[in-house]
Copies of this chain bind each other. A is one copy, B any other.
């Protein structure tokens, strides 16, 4: 492939030699001769000068001695070229001899069921879907087209997984929500969780994350949402479209998130919290109350981020502040004493 063809693939414009052969794509640190690269950040020009890459994706024409491809979204173009030069691994279609299939299983075309996969009764799996070794799909699950389920995943019964979904290793979909009531003797009595989980199209869920089935009804992950590793989504939550849940986030029961919500690492939501659209919650913060659309929050409990940031700036000065106040009090006492003595 030459640079002209690469540019065409991403609707870009070549500034330089379109006949240059491009053999790969990679980040600035490792890209070598024949590679096209991409950089972001303030001092990327300096990084580029040290790079051995043969071409670079840029948003604006730069004064550098390297072939450029002009494109309005260089990172997006980079992602698309990566997908072209390094497509995700897909094992060959087919049902391995060690797969255990239940009754009444409906498989689409070119499905891959890898070794030691267990499929329950009444399961449907769409065309081109891949299931890696050791995964368990229980009764009555429906899995869409072109979906990838990695190893040692568990889908509890009645889970519904869309198209182009990726579930990473160890994910658990549809385990019972954490619902109990107390009996006469103070013992926790299980409230059977009779709902299910629905994961819409183009969702990706990271390793060892959990999405619990609803108490009744559905725990819903809407289309395009991306969930990192070790995240907990409790029963009856609705996670809106195109959200980002970073690693170790925990969302308690019955939360409702709008679209384009970003929860940074280890953030948490109390139960029944409603979050609007385009909300960002900072890492490690805890939203105990509803959050309106288009806002950025942080802290425990969460405050508007700028307020939280200003507050924590004072924290290390608190001991001094307390000492100053005691000092002022003493001085004021002296003045008042003196004044009353006058």
Are B300 and A311 in contact (CB-based, < 8 A)?
Answer: no
Are B216 and A27 in contact (CB-based, < 8 A)?
Answer: yes
Chain B neighbourhood of A135, CB < 8 A: 134
Determine how many copies of this chain the complex contains: 3
Are B242 and A186 in contact (CB-based, < 8 A)?
Answer: yes
* A117 smallest CB distance to B (angstroms): 8
* Interface bin, chain A: 35 or more
Contact of A154 among B150, B204, B270 (CB under 8 A): B150
- Asked whether A136 and B118 contact (CB < 8 A) given A27-B215, A82-B192, A178-B226, the answer is no
A83 to B175, CA, bound (A): 17
Question: Which residues does A use to contact B, with CB under 8 Å?
Answer: 26-27, 29-30, 73, 75-76, 78-80, 82-83, 86-89, 96, 98, 100, 114-116, 118, 132-136, 138-139, 150-154, 156-157, 166, 168-170, 172, 175-176, 178, 180-184, 186-192, 194, 202, 204, 206-208, 210, 212, 215-217, 224, 226, 228-230, 232, 234, 242, 244, 246-248, 250, 252, 260, 265-266, 268, 270, 283-284, 286, 288, 299-301, 303, 307-308, 310-319, 321-322, 324-325, 328-329, 331-332, 335-336, 338-339
Are A86 and B335 in contact (CB-based, < 8 A)?
Answer: no
A247 to B132, CA, bound (A): 28
Are B189 and A169 in contact (CB-based, < 8 A)?
Answer: no
Are B224 and A188 in contact (CB-based, < 8 A)?
Answer: yes
Are B175 and A172 in contact (CB-based, < 8 A)?
Answer: no
A315 to B76, CA, bound (A): 41
* A274 smallest CB distance to B (angstroms): 16
